[in-house]
Amino acid sequence: MSEPKKLFIKTYGCQMNVYDSERMAEALGGQGYVETQSADDADMILLNTCHIREKAAEKVYSELGRFKGLKAEKPDLKIGVAGCVAQAEGEEIMRRQPLVDLVVGPQSYHRLPEMEAKTRQGAKALDTDFPEEDKFEQLKRRPKAKRGPTAFLTVQEGCDKFCAFCVVPYTRGAEVSRPVDRILSEARDLVERGVREITLLGQNVNAYHGAGPTGDMTLAQLIWQLDKIDGLERIRFTTSHPNDMGDDLIEAHGTCDKLMPYLHLPVQSGSDKILKRMNRSHTAESYLRLIERIRAARPDILMSGDFIVGFPEESEADFQATLDLVEEVRYGYAYSFKYSTRPGTPAAERPQVDPTEADDRLQRLQALITRDQRSVQDSMVGREVKVLFEKPGRLPGQMGGKSDYLHAVHVDDADVEVGDLRRVRIVDSAANSLRGVLA
C-alpha cells in the first residue's frame, strides 16, 4: 500500500479562511492527501490568502519565493495559491512565479481534486470563476473524526455593501446565503464529533437570508433553529454590519440562552463625513442608538468593533469624533488599522492622509482601546462565568478556555478536560487573560 501524500496549508486572514482551509484539506483528502505541519515534508503546498491587509499580494509573492529551493529539490512538489489574492491576481501569480502549479479562488475550491489531477499530468490549473454550483454541496461530507469543542461554520459569503476601502465584493462576489437545512445538517455533524460551540461566519453574516422550509430565514431565525440541537451549547456569529442588525436578532441576544453575550459590530469611524466617504450607509448617531437597543436587550453584552484611521481626507476633527465614539461605547475588544490603499477601490484614488499623522492617530486610538479593554476585563474579577475548556495551559495541571464573553480564562485544576463547560469564579486579571477557580 502506497504512503499517503502530504498536504501543507498556510492560512492567512479571517476565520472564514480557516474554515475554507479545513474544507480544502477535506476535498484533497479524497485524493489521498493527509495534512502535515511542515512545508518541507509536503507533496503539495497551498497558501490560502487574504487580501485585506496592506501589500497582501506582495507578501504572498515573498512567501512563494521561499519555496524555490524546495521546489528545486522536489520537482514533483505542487504549489498552489488559493483565497482572495488568488481571485484578485489570477494568471498574474503564475506569470510572476512560474513555480506555482495552480491558482484557485475562494468560490471554486471544491474543484481542487480535478485541478490537482491536472497538475499531476504536468499542466497548470487556474480557476477563479464564480460557479453556479454550491461548492459546499460538491464537497464530500466531513469524516466522523473527533475534533475540538469549537468550530467555525460558514453560512453566508460575499458582500453587496461596496465600502469604498474594501475588496471583498470583488474577491468573494455578491451576497449568497446557504440553505437552512444544509447548515443544520453540518452543525449536527459537528456536534456528533464533539463540537459544543459553533461560530457562524459570513463576510456580512447578519445579512443572512437562507432558504428555509417556508421561505427565506433571517440570521435570528437560523439561530433559533440551531438552538434546538441537543449538545450544541454555544452559538456566536461574525462579522456583522450595523445596517443589518434586525429587531429579531437584537431580541435573540436577550432571549436565546445559547447565543453568547458578545457582538462584533464594526463601525470604522466616528465621523459622519468619513462614514459617508466610506459608503458605510450609517451615521455615528444611528450606530450609538443601535448599541443602546442591543444593550437594553442584553445589558451585559460585550461589544467589539473595527476602526480604520487615516482614511483619505480624514481631518483631526474627524479622528476626534472616532475617539469620542470609543469613549461612549467602551468596547471590550476592538481592532484598529491604518488605512492602506486597495487598487480598484474608490478610496484608492482619493487624496491620502500623511502617513506620519496616520501612525500617530493609530497609536492614540489603540491606547484608548487598550485602556477600555483592560477595564472591561478587570471588571470580571469576582464574577462567575461559564468557560468552555479548549486546551491544556502552559503549566502542568492548567487548562485554558473561553468565557461566555470570549475572554481567555485558565484554571490551575487537573479536574478539567477538553470540552468541559464549567462555571468558574474569576480571581485575577492579567494582560490578555483571566485566572479563575472552579465554582
DSSP 417: -
Q: Which residue positions in the chain have pLDDT lower than 50? A: 142, 144
Give the separation between CA 45 and CA 49, rounded to whole angstroms.
12
DSSP 100: -
**Residue 256 labelled as part of a binding site:** no
What's the confidence (pLDDT) of residue 130?
64
CATH number corresponding to 5-127? 3.40.50.12160
Give the separation between CA 29 and CA 36, rounded to whole angstroms.
12
**Residue 50 labelled as part of a binding site:** yes
Which CATH superfamily groups domain 384-438? Nucleic acid-binding proteins (2.40.50.140)
Helices (H), 75-179: 84-89, 91-96, 112-120, 135-138, 168-171
38 in Cβ contact with 70 (< 8 Å): no
Assess whether the region 141-260 and the region 290-379 belong to the same CATH fold: yes
Give, for 274, the enclosing helix (H) or strand (E).
helix 272-278
**Integer CA distances (angstroms), 43 to 46, 79, 98, 127, in order:** 10, 9, 17, 21
Does the predicted model carry a pTM greater than 0.85? no
- Cell representation of residue 48: 490560502
Domain ranges across the chain: 5-127, 141-260, 290-379, 384-438
CATH number corresponding to 290-379? 3.30.750.200
What's the confidence (pLDDT) of residue 129?
76
Which CATH number is correct for 141-260, 3.30.70.1140, 3.30.750.210, 3.40.50.880, 3.40.50.720? 3.30.750.210
List the one residue out of 405, 406, 11, 16 whose CA is nearest residue 204.
Answer: 16
3-state secondary structure of 153: strand
**Residue 166 labelled as part of a binding site:** yes
What's the confidence (pLDDT) of residue 138?
55
DSSP string of 117-129, one letter each residue:
HHHHTT--EEE--
